[in-house]
Structure 1
């Protein structure tokens, strides 16, 4: 029998992380048994996950005990690490954690527990961080990245990579409602570290080009202050501001009611695309390389606008059939990956 194990450990205040965790769990559910550790996971975050048929464990020790017991019973045991982005510097404490988990994964490898990292991207890695990832990749059963840009980074840094598996958000079912749209533009923008005046110039042009109501939203509490600042900047226009940081279902309903979505957050863009909204990735390439990699692989690079160097019209429509095909094709690649693991 195949038993899958997954420990929910991520940024609980980020609905984008809730999305890819939910979609990973959906991919694991067809196995004979799915065990999920939910220790320290907030109740609001759990509401976004599809965990009804899984065995839920609220103790890390018991979780790993069940994993060892399953393997000693000669089951095929797969342990999945959290999807998402890795980048930047790491603290001395984090280095010690990497070394500890790498040692544990080495023991797992010896006894036949397969550890998988899937749906990840790497950017702006410090020397220590890249070394830790390189060391850990040697003991993983599979280390799959979500875009070719990350694949190339790994090749240069000698981080072992199994293959490219698209972002897990591409498992979403594509829907495009023919109903009249409530909002012309939805804007959800994280405050950039640099070039903020360039961002304001770009947003000024976008807001002035609107042919209907504009809605500012935040999926992440971290974005609230900046979205409120943008709302105040454009309050002379037909604008609203909403907090959508609690439930994915609220975001899904909203995106089906809007024509365009402007964001520098990857999973705002992908979730909006899945509901038929046309995305505009408004980015600084120095800060948003994961969006560049994933959009480039999906052949929708023209939907990216670099606000630090852009004099052209901002909105570029992609063919709806093309976007639908992107979800269908990437969904198949993801399904094939998980099907192969369970053979």
Structure 2
């Protein structure tokens, strides 16, 4: 039987370790079910594809002189003749549809997917959080979903949005990061005493809302006060996204006025060096989903300091895994309690969730790509 040909859309923030994490995890899954083709024609994604681990034979530039869309359509036509299944995989990441422009884009995408369905292409949307505001955006997403064979969101709150829009085929697939495996027990750590704590925060969710940014800094100061009152440890300020570096430096300068155990991690935390940083941290505080979901893989307790109304994807995922108590709203954080004795127990409980979610993901991909 001829292997499936899988066209994989990889348009993401190019300097975001969290995006690399989920796209790389999905790539590793797709390789098990066919030959993967990634559009590498845009130079801005060159480093992103390198971090993802895209092989030369998976690059569109090595496969065809045509565009990504033209290549997919041509291969779909050929597939009808030689009986080869062609698939189009898309949807990864956070999607907020709130404007007429986004609704129009959805309708144009629906027209394209309708053509693919005529050519019997298997269309898969997976790995996304979604928010739909307004009837027009809800209706446009509902129309688009008609032409999607497998429609998966990554949390129950996104599923609720879709069901309210009339998308009955929507199902939940665990966040793709759960399926990314790291080498276990390859880093030293003092598990009986808190010695290193990491902060990894973004201010970009607020754009230029100085009041909100100040609230975030107040919450971070509260954390530093608590840590220094209860533990003899180091606090490291890090970042997983290049865009976050300036705010990380600002936080470091701000905290250094009050405390002498503050250090700045100059290099971006990536999948390649995460073991060095998260592997030596006992606790990681962050308002980035995949800083939290990467840190626990290396034995660090992930605690989210988030803006609940603006960061529903984090709320949804932590609710689904049964750990909403690991999240604190920045405007309501009055107290926090960390027990050195509970860290290993909580991290192990999250790893048990990871094991179950990885099994679920594997079963979902078997179902998607079964002959």
Shared fold per TM-score greater than 0.5: yes
How far does residue 264 in structure 1 lie from its aligned partner after superposition?
A: 0.7
SS in 2 for 1:30: coil
1:125-204 alignment, distance < 5 Å: 125-173=133-181, 175=184, 179-180=188-189, 184-191=196-203, 192-193=205-206, 195-204=212-221
Determine if contact 1:18/1:49 at 8 Å carries over to the other structure.
yes
The alpha-carbon distance between structure 1 residues 180 and 292, as it changes in their structure 2 partners (threshold 3 A), is: same
How far does residue 160 in structure 1 lie from its aligned partner after superposition?
A: 3.9
How far does residue 237 in structure 1 lie from its aligned partner after superposition?
A: 2.5
SS in 2 for 1:215: strand
Counterpart CA distance in 1 for 2:301 and 2:24 is: 23
Determine if contact 2:150/2:368 at 8 Å carries over to the other structure.
no
How far does residue 146 in structure 1 lie from its aligned partner after superposition?
A: 0.6
The alpha-carbon distance between structure 1 residues 76 and 185, as it changes in their structure 2 partners (threshold 3 A), is: same
Higher mean C-alpha displacement, 203-212 vs 274-283? 203-212
The equivalent residue for 1:234 is 255
The equivalent residue for 2:75 is 66
How far does residue 176 in structure 1 lie from its aligned partner after superposition?
A: 5.0
The answer as to 2:97 corresponding to 1:97 is: no
When normalised by structure 1's length, the TM-score is 0.91
The answer as to 2:236 corresponding to 1:215 is: yes
How far does residue 246 in structure 1 lie from its aligned partner after superposition?
A: 7.3
1:2-81 alignment, distance < 5 Å: 2-40=4-42, 41-52=44-55, 54-58=57-61, 59-60=67-68, 61-81=70-90
CA deviation map 1:266-313 (0-9, x unaligned)? 111101111111001111111111011101111111111112112221
Counterpart CA distance in 1 for 2:139 and 2:150 is: 18
The alpha-carbon distance between structure 1 residues 226 and 128, as it changes in their structure 2 partners (threshold 3 A), is: farther
Determine if contact 1:71/1:113 at 8 Å carries over to the other structure.
no
When normalised by structure 2's length, the TM-score is 0.84
- After superposition, the CA RMSD in angstroms is 2.3
Counterpart CA distance in 1 for 2:81 and 2:112 is: 16
CA deviation map 1:296-334 (0-9, x unaligned)? 111111111112112221547452321110110000000
Of Structure 1 and Structure 2, the greater helix share is in: 2
Unaligned runs of 5+ in 2: 62-66
The equivalent residue for 1:121 is 129
How far does residue 144 in structure 1 lie from its aligned partner after superposition?
A: 0.4
How far does residue 178 in structure 1 lie from its aligned partner after superposition?
A: 6.6
CA deviation map 1:107-139 (0-9, x unaligned)? 111221111101111136354433322221111
How far does residue 202 in structure 1 lie from its aligned partner after superposition?
A: 2.1
Counterpart CA distance in 2 for 1:240 and 1:126 is: 45
Higher mean C-alpha displacement, 25-34 vs 185-194? 185-194
Q: How many residues align?
A: 342
Higher mean C-alpha displacement, 263-272 vs 117-126? 117-126
Counterpart CA distance in 1 for 2:81 and 2:255 is: 62
The alpha-carbon distance between structure 1 residues 82 and 18, as it changes in their structure 2 partners (threshold 3 A), is: farther
Determine if contact 1:244/1:251 at 8 Å carries over to the other structure.
no
The equivalent residue for 1:260 is 283
Counterpart CA distance in 1 for 2:109 and 2:266 is: 37
The equivalent residue for 1:303 is 326
